[in-house]
């Protein structure tokens, strides 16, 4: 295991032409030096956390979008662009999640290694984006098993950039995938405790489609998959009618989406005699605060699943998956 900041020695083959008898060219090994940690940029916290887990101390990962930042609406700053231009490698989600960064990422890919970590997912299992023809729902991290595929993209990319570290990246990845498998099993176990008649998840925007499909719960977003346009009166009235008809008693806010439309739904239901409460605040397009448990991918999913289960009448252990939840 190499220490952070240690030098990476790559052997380059330099052909020195010998003027000795026979004039045969003989290879000479020359050491070229590249310093650790590798300079890595990731667009979102979820992407950045996967890269940190795989890179370990060999990579210094800078995440462009922190907590409460909506990637659908984010535009890179001059400082962001300058940082990406200096990076050794760049990772992003893809599937148009970072829609306003598209042109920037294309231009950077001409000069830097740039990877979409969703690229190994078969289109046949992607959910369609009903708002945009031919587009897919980009929120793959909501299904832990799908997100495991992102780990493989990162391993391959880092190993191509740094062949000397390939074995270490594989070991880190295998360990992380094992943890994600345990997390997935935990989510399935506690989600199964929600009573059948209460298995409806109403959220601020439609970011939980993969979660619903993976963990057997109906999902309805007040807004669509993208947050670029707000829900109209017709959509809100339709959702209010559904909530009243089905008896939904809890809806969920999100850290990256304003509560205006969700508040309108709650007030609309109350006007029709159905009391609805906020069941909790979920992490959808961004994780929790940097340095916190909820600021990791595992903590994000643990928080979401545990919050949903408790609010909808299921049973989850104190402290969640590993007893580390702070709320």
The predicted-structure confidence for 107-132, as pLDDT tens digits, reads as follows: 999 999 999 999 999 999 999 988 78
Number of compact structural domains in the chain: 3
Assess whether 92 and 124 both reside in one domain: yes
C-alpha 48/C-alpha 2 separation (Å) is: 21
Is 319 part of any domain?
no
Assess whether 269 and 136 both reside in one domain: no
Per-residue DSSP letter, 125: G
- pTM equals 0.88
**Alpha helix segments (H runs only) across 100-217:** 102-108, 144-161, 166-191, 209-215
Backbone angles phi, psi at 274, to 5 degrees: -105, 115
Q: pLDDT digits over 79-105, tens only?
A: 999 999 999 999 999 999 999 999 999
pLDDT of residue 173 exceeding 80: yes
Is 318 part of any domain?
no
Assess whether 106 and 175 both reside in one domain: yes
Assess whether 42 and 172 both reside in one domain: yes
Is 327 part of any domain?
no
Q: For residue 146, give Cα distances in angstroms to 66, 98, 238, 305.
A: 23, 19, 31, 16
pLDDT at residue 293, rounded to an integer = 97
Assess whether 173 and 210 both reside in one domain: no
Is 325 part of any domain?
no
CB of 253 within 8 A of CB of 262? Answer: yes
Assess whether 137 and 5 both reside in one domain: no
Assess whether 215 and 306 both reside in one domain: yes
pLDDT at residue 25, rounded to an integer = 42
pLDDT of residue 1 exceeding 70: no
Highest-confidence range of 7-16, 223-232, 237-246, by mean pLDDT?
A: 237-246
pLDDT of residue 62 exceeding 80: yes
Assess whether 156 and 82 both reside in one domain: yes
Assess whether 54 and 16 both reside in one domain: no
Assess whether 203 and 174 both reside in one domain: no
C-alpha 222/C-alpha 139 separation (Å) is: 16
Q: For residue 175, give Cα distances in angstroms to 162, 295, 296.
A: 20, 19, 16
pLDDT at residue 226, rounded to an integer = 62
Is 22 part of any domain?
yes
Q: Residue 306: which domain range?
A: 193-311
Is 9 part of any domain?
yes
Assess whether 231 and 158 both reside in one domain: no
* CB atoms inside a 10 Å sphere around CB 59: 25
pLDDT at residue 188, rounded to an integer = 98
pLDDT at residue 327, rounded to an integer = 73
CA-CA-CA-CA torsion sign (284, 320, 174, 86): positive
pLDDT at residue 223, rounded to an integer = 85
Q: What is the CATH number of the domain that holds 92?
A: 3.40.50.1980
Assess whether 183 and 40 both reside in one domain: yes
Segment 71-75 shows an average pLDDT of 93
Is 40 part of any domain?
yes
Which residue did the predictor score with more confidence, 316 or 6?
A: 316
Is 320 part of any domain?
no
């Amino acid at each position: 295991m190499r220490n952070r900041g240690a030098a990476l020695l790559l052997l380059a083959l330099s052909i020195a032409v010998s003027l000795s008898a026979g004039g045969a060219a003989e290879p000479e090994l020359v050491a070229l030096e590249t310093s650790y940690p590798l300079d890595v940029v990731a667009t979102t916290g979820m992407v950045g956390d996967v890269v940190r887990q795989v890179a370990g101390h060999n990579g210094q990962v800078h995440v462009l979008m922190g907590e409460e930042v909506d990637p659908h609406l984010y535009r890179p700053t001059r400082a962001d662009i300058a940082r990406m231009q200096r990076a050794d490698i760049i990772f992003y989600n893809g599937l148009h999640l970072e829609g306003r960064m598209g042109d920037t990422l294309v231009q950077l890919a001409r000069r830097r290694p740039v990877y979409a970590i969703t690229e190994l997912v078969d289109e046949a299992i992607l959910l369609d984006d009903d708002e945009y023809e031919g587009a897919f729902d980009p929120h793959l991290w909501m299904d832990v098993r799908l997100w495991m595929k992102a780990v493989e993209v990162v391993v391959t990319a880092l190993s191509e950039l740094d062949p000397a570290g390939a074995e270490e990246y594989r070991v880190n990845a295998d360990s992380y995938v094992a943890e994600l498998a345990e997390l997935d099993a935990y989510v399935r176990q506690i989600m199964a405790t929600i009573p059948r008649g209460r298995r409806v998840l109403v959220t601020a925007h439609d970011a939980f489609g993969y979660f619903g499909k993976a963990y057997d719960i109906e999902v309805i977003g007040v807004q669509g998959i993208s947050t670029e346009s707000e829900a109209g009166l017709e959509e809100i009235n339709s959702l209010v009618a559904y909530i009243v008809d089905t008896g939904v008693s809890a809806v969920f806010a999100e850290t990256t989406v304003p509560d205006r439309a969700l508040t309108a739904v709650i007030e609309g239901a109350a006007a029709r005699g159905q009391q609805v409460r906020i069941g909790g605040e979920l992490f959808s397009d961004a994780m929790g605060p940097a340095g916190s448990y909820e600021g990791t991918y595992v903590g994000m999913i643990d928080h979401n699943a545990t919050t949903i289960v408790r609010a909808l009448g299921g049973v989850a252990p104190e402290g969640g998956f590993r007893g580390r939840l702070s709320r």
